């Protein structure tokens, strides 16, 4: 086992010297964690010696300062130093992938932490700083003779997930959980591929995959609306689209101030005329099926609305009781009418009608007389008629809430009925 570890260390150190010569921009920042010093193998590597601006020292966790530039899609990389022979290789693969996909070096910030257990909290702080669009989490947890492996592996996995949810920034999980060192080295660049490169590739391709999947003209707002599930804001999506367009991975066209993006069409197979005709037939068939389904849904919804509009059992019972009460009242009235109640005699009816006609006519006559008298009195009077009326204590029909016209109409109807009854 000792021989295997020595061989692995030599391989790791050799790989570390091959880290891509990308001048990572690390603006003034302070990230402090309880940690151990950098190993000689790590600090002597050309690629990782640029991390000197990130200071690791004992004490509480603290993050402050500007970590990255504001141009382009910005990536934060949190890498654990524990099992560094593995994490160095993962970091190398991630940086090579960033370079291959035209991510600018000044838009990549690498922060080192003691181990995988500290990766989530640092990723969360970077995400909440608002200065990163994607956080890549790199670490390696190797099983030992104790249960420490299970605790760290579970905490790292759930922690990275929660970090992304709380920070509102995608946090890509690139922490290896392996049974032994040989398996870890295989997954960090051996037969199993480099998982750090795969994690970085996932972060870069979030937007690219969406554009290719849609394969239709899109603006930044369309893409941002669809990619909300990845917690990508419109600004980040716009920068990603521009970066992909600059690298030639997608096409775009400018219309004034607006840019329209579309997947590169040379990556798709163009169907021939027979395939197009078959697609048209399939599409027409699917459209018919869709119309049938919509019709069926509409019928079901109509039926549901009808059922919902029906009375409930309690409402039916209440209405039944009310109707029975009304029927009983009507039956009682009908019984009284059938019992031979004495009706008004014709001569009595005539006397009442004549009396009514006389009183209405007298009402009209007196109202006319009053109006003539009032007009003569108030014609040259300097007083306001309304005030004069109140002073005299006069009341009009309207003040008593009566209307002569309604009684006049009744009298006209009575006279008309008398005329036809002769």
Model confidence band, residue 217 (pLDDT cutoffs 50, 70, 90): very high
Residues 168-202 pLDDT 10s: 888 888 888 887 776 767 665 654 455 555 555 55
* Mean pLDDT value of segment 275-283: 91
Q: What is the mean pLDDT of the chain?
A: 74
Residues 324-370 pLDDT 10s: 999 999 998 888 777 766 667 778 888 888 898 898 899 889 989 98
Q: Looking at the predicted structure, is the pLDDT value of residue 404 above 80? A: yes
DSSP character for 172?
E
Residues 232-273 pLDDT 10s: 778 778 878 887 888 788 899 988 888 999 998 888 788 888
What tokens does 260 get? 């329209």
Catalytic residue chosen out of the listed positions 18, 36, 62, 148: 148
User: What is the pTM assigned to this prediction?
Assistant: 0.34
Model confidence band, residue 280 (pLDDT cutoffs 50, 70, 90): very high
Contact 15, 92 (CB under 8 A): yes
Model confidence band, residue 147 (pLDDT cutoffs 50, 70, 90): low
Q: Assess whether 51 carries a catalytic annotation.
A: no
Q: Looking at the predicted structure, is the pLDDT value of residue 164 above 90? A: no
Phi, psi torsion values for 176, nearest 5 degrees: -75, 140
Q: Whole-angstrom Cα distance, residue 164 to residue 230?
A: 9
pLDDT at 39: 31
Q: Looking at the predicted structure, is the pLDDT value of residue 127 above 80? A: yes
Phi, psi torsion values for 168, nearest 5 degrees: 75, 25
pLDDT at 22: 41
Q: Whole-angstrom Cα distance, residue 81 to residue 112?
A: 7
Higher confidence at residue 144 or residue 67? 144
Residues 221-232 pLDDT 10s: 988 888 877 667
Which one, of 101, 54, 122, lies nearest residue 246 by Cα?
101
Higher confidence at residue 144 or residue 158? 158
What percentage of the chain exceeds 70 in pLDDT? 74
Q: Looking at the predicted structure, is the pLDDT value of residue 284 above 90? A: yes
Model confidence band, residue 89 (pLDDT cutoffs 50, 70, 90): confident
What percentage of the chain exceeds 90 in pLDDT? 12
Residues 74-83 pLDDT 10s: 889 999 888 8
Phi, psi torsion values for 217, nearest 5 degrees: -60, 135
Q: Whole-angstrom Cα distance, residue 18 to residue 128?
A: 33
End-to-end CA distance of the chain: 133
pLDDT at 322: 93
Higher confidence at residue 69 or residue 284? 284
DSSP character for 268?
S
Which one, of 210, 259, 244, 243, lies nearest residue 71 by Cα?
243
Q: DSSP string covering 127-193, please?
A: HHTT--SEEEEEEEEE--SSTHHHHHHHHHHHHHHHHHHHHTS-EEEEEEEESSHHHHHHHBTSTT-
Q: Whole-angstrom Cα distance, residue 134 to residue 236?
A: 9
């Amino acid at each position: 086992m000792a021989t295997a570890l020595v061989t692995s260390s030599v391989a790791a150190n050799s790989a570390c010297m091959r880290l891509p010569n990308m001048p990572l921009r690390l603006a003034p920042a302070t990230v402090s964690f309880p940690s151990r010093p950098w190993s000689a193998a790590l600090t002597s590597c050309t690629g990782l010696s640029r991390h000197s601006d990130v200071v690791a020292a004992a004490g509480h966790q603290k993050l402050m300062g500007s970590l990255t530039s504001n141009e382009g899609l910005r990536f934060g990389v949190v890498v654990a130093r524990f099992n560094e022979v593995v994490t160095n290789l993962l970091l190398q693969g991630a940086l090579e992938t960033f370079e291959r996909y035209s991510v600018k070096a000044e838009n990549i910030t690498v922060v080192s932490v003691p181990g995988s257990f500290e990766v989530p909290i640092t990723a969360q702080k970077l995400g909440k700083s608002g200065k990163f669009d994607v956080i890549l989490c790199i670490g390696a947890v190797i099983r030992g003779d104790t249960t420490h492996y299970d605790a760290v592996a579970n905490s790292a996995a759930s922690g990275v997930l929660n970090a992304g949810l709380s920070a509102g920034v995608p946090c890509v999980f690139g922490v290896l959980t392996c049974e032994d060192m040989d398996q870890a080295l295989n997954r960090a660049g051996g037969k199993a591929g480099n998982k750090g490169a795969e994690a970085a590739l996932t972060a870069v391709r979030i937007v690219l995959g969406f554009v290719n999947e849609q394969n239709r003209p899109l603006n930044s707002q369309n893409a941002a609306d669809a990619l909300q599930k990845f917690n990508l804001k419109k600004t980040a999506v716009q920068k990603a689209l521009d970066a992909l367009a600059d690298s030639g991975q997608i096409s775009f066209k400018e219309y004034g101030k607006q840019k329209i993006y579309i997947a590169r069409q040379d990556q798709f197979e163009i169907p021939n005329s027979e395939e197009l005709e078959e697609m048209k037939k399939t599409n027409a068939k699917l459209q018919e099926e869709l119309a049938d389904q919509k019709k069926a849904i509409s019928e079901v919804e109509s039926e549901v609305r009808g059922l919902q509009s029906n009375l409930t059992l309690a409402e039916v019972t209440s209405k039944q009781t009310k109707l029975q009460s009304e029927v009983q009242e009507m039956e009682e009235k009908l019984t009284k009418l059938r019992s031979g109640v004495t009706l008004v005699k014709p001569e009595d009816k005539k006397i009442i009608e004549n009396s009514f006609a006389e009183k209405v006519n007298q009402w009209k006559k007196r109202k006319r007389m009053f109006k003539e008298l009032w007009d003569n009195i108030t014609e040259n009077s300097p007083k306001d008629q309304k005030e004069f009326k109140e002073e005299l204590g006069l009341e009009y029909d309207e003040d008593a809430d009566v209307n002569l016209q309604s009684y006049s109409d009744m009298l006209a109807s009575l006279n008309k009925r008398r005329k036809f009854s002769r």
